[in-house]
């Protein structure tokens, strides 16, 4: 019998992000991005932006990833999604995005959009796998190196349709 390279998805849970999660989120944010958001930005998202929905992915109770979106009328705009480096390569980023998409659908969103660096093939491949299609470029979108962002869109399942991990989730 082959030994698994990684643990199963057992112990992996999703929940709504709270203000107390910001220190853990900042660790993930700084590890994942060359242009990390500030603590204040996350605090404002959680307390001031009524369009914002953020979730935490935990492994054995410890935050290891997060994702956020803005929900406006019937469209969800992914603001950020990240997983700690030590937990990448297990397809948990895919589960996190599926959970975000399922949550958006439960909230009545019909489509989802995001921007991704044109050089980020790994992320683009994940997004394509989950139904996102390129829809244009934002020239010079990233201020650290003026890299272009690819705009991608996906249709979401109807509210109440099964989608993603098969796990139930709360509406965020």
The residues carrying an active-site annotation are 115, 127
Give me the helices (H) in the chain, please.
22-32, 39-47, 92-106, 121-129
Query: Interior CA angle at 111 toward 149 and 17, to 5°?
Result: 80
Q: 6: closest CA among 120, 129, 95? A: 95
Cα–Cα dist 114/157, whole Å: 17
Cα–Cα dist 134/76, whole Å: 16
């Amino acid at each position: 019998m082959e030994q698994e390279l990684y643990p199963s998805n057992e112990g992996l849970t999703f929940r709504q992000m709270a203000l107390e999660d910001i220190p853990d989120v900042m660790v993930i944010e700084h590890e994942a991005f060359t242009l990390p958001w500030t603590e204040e930005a996350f605090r404002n998202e959680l307390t001031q932006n009524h369009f914002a929905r953020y979730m935490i992915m935990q492994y054995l109770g410890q935050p290891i990833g997060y994702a956020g979106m803005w929900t406006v009328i019937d469209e969800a705009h992914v603001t950020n999604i990240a997983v700690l480096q030590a937990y990448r390569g297990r397809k948990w980023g895919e589960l996190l995005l599926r959970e975000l998409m399922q949550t958006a659908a439960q909230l009545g969103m019909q489509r989802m959009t995001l921007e991704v660096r044109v050089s980020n093939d790994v992320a683009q491949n994940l997004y394509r796998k989950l139904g996102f299609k390129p829809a244009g470029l934002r020239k010079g979108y990233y201020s650290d190196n003026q890299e272009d962002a690819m705009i991608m869109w996906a249709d979401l399942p109807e509210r109440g349709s099964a989608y993603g991990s098969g796990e139930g989730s709360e509406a965020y």
